[in-house]
Amino acid sequence: MLKMQVLGEQQKVATFMEGFKSLPQYQILTETKSYNQVLDTEVAFALFEVNQSKTHSMMLQITTMNNKELVLNLDQAQMRKAENGITWIKGKVHDIYW
Q: What is the pTM of this model?
A: 0.46
Measured distance CA(52)–CA(90) in Å, rounded: 14
pLDDT by residue (tens digit) across 64-85?
999 999 998 998 888 878 778 8
- Residue 77 has what pLDDT? 86
Is the pLDDT reported for residue 92 higher than 70?
Answer: yes
pLDDT by residue (tens digit) across 5-53?
888 877 888 888 888 877 767 777 777 878 777 777 777 776 776 665 6
Let me know the angle formed at the C-alpha of 11 by 6 and 17, rounded to the nearest 5 degrees.
Answer: 45
pLDDT band at 54 (very low <50, low <70, confident <90, very high): low
- Asked if residues 64 and 51 have their Cβ atoms less than 8 Å apart, the reply is no
Query: Which residues have CB under 8 Å from 55's CB, separation 6+?
Result: 75, 76, 77, 78, 91
pLDDT band at 55 (very low <50, low <70, confident <90, very high): low
